[in-house]
Amino acid sequence: MRKTALIVTLLVLTLLALPVWAQRREIRIPDIYGYTTLKCDFHMHTVFSDGLVWPTVRVDEAWREGLDAISITDHIEYQPHKADVPTNHNRPYEIAAGKAAGLGLLLIRGTEITRNTPPGHFNAIFLNDINPLDTKDFFDVLEAAKAQKAFVFWNHPGWKAKPGEKYIADINEQIREKGLIQGVEVVNGRSHYADAHTWALNHNFTLMGNSDIHSPADNDQMQPENHRTMTLVFAREKTVEAIKEALLKGRTAVYFGNTIIGKGDFLEGIFEASIHVQKPYVQSKNAVSVLVTNESDIDFELRRTGKVGPSTITFPAGQSTFVKIPIDKDGKAELAYTVTNLCTAPGKGLSLSTTFYAD
């Protein structure tokens, strides 16, 4: 016993002595429908364009914050540090690859195609070589990405638009009609682009959300309530190939703040896998109390849309909550709620309904 206690003490002291960069926070969002839920950021910058850190720093930050896969997407056309850092489009990936592999972090080769708005900025990922995309004509760039079977998405679509101003231009429709993009970044950092979100849903684009980080990451980004924006990818396994397959099939959701945006079936899967209801405790013949445990990092916020139950319910992340439910003479209740922070469309929460039985 004395030897075991000594080993435990040494392990604890070792963990406490680890530097901050060696401490990883695991993000608690469950796997669903047999897929692995991978936490990904496909939009970030280094000193090789307009970022302020070396590529390996991006790897350390991402690993620390619980990510599974990243893409460093430095601008092709915009390189304000080129007097100090020579132009070499593939170099950020090459520098970061070894560190990423050592930490078990998937690294995807990518870049940002930078044009005035419209058409705007686009990320191309899963590239073999970025250099063929360094060409003047915009459509030639997208065709070069297509030739490499890249996944291309429109970045921060409304970042220059004034409130109420339309920003989906004719050229963006042309890009769509030519099949040159597959995704839309509906959330960039803390900004949600509602019109682009609706456009993406209407045309079945893959929903993306990323940090677009330029500065060094702050420690407070590693908290559930203040994490970096990311794309949740529902992949068959943790591989680059599986991520690409999932993106092409549209199996994603966007996690930002205390909100997840996605298709209804994915959101319902996340909710059902996160919430566990224990056997009801009978309080009276007219009502029962049930203990509900939320094992995710999301504070689920519910608003009643039916006639029975509390008007609002919050299931705090990582906590258990007693909920009192009125029942009829047969011991059942017809429950209908909207999970307001699981968004299937701009301003529309996930609708849930069930028949609850006290037995």
Q: Which domains does the chain have, with CATH numbers?
A: 18-257 (3.20.20.140), 269-357 (2.60.40.3090)
Q: What is the β-pairing status of strands 106-114 and 69-72?
A: parallel
pLDDT digits (tens, 9 = 90+) for 119-176: 999 999 999 999 999 999 999 999 999 999 999 999 999 999 999 999 999 999 999 9
Average pLDDT, the chain: 93
Q: Please state whether 281 falls in left (phi above 0), alpha (psi between -120 and 50) or beta.
A: beta
pTM metric for this prediction: 0.93
Is there a contact between 103 and 68 (Cβ–Cβ < 8 Å)?
A: no
Quick one: tokens of 318? 């990582």
- Can you tell me whether residue 349 is helix, strand or coil? strand
Q: How far apart are CA 325 and CA 309, in angstroms?
A: 5
Q: How far apart are CA 24 and CA 19, in angstroms?
A: 11
pLDDT digits (tens, 9 = 90+) for 176-211: 999 999 999 999 999 999 999 999 999 999 999 999
Torsion of CA 326, 328, 331, 336, to 10 degrees: -60
Confidence category of residue 5, pLDDT binned at 50, 70, 90: low
Q: How far apart are CA 51 and CA 68, in angstroms?
A: 21
pLDDT digits (tens, 9 = 90+) for 273-313: 999 998 877 778 899 999 999 999 999 999 999 999 999 99
Q: How far apart are CA 160 and CA 114, in angstroms?
A: 14
Quick one: tokens of 152? 């291309």
pLDDT, position 222:
65
Is there a contact between 122 and 151 (Cβ–Cβ < 8 Å)?
A: no
Has residue 32 got a pLDDT over 60?
Answer: yes
End-to-end CA distance of the chain: 46
Is there a contact between 324 and 284 (Cβ–Cβ < 8 Å)?
A: no
pLDDT, position 2:
57
- Beta bridge partners, 252, equal 233
Confidence category of residue 15, pLDDT binned at 50, 70, 90: very low
DSSP 4-70: HHHHHHHHHHHHHHS-GGG--PPP----BTTBEEEEEE--B--TTTT-SS-HHHHHHHHHHTT-SEE
Has residue 12 got a pLDDT over 70?
Answer: no
AA identity, residue 112: E
Quick one: tokens of 285? 């013949």
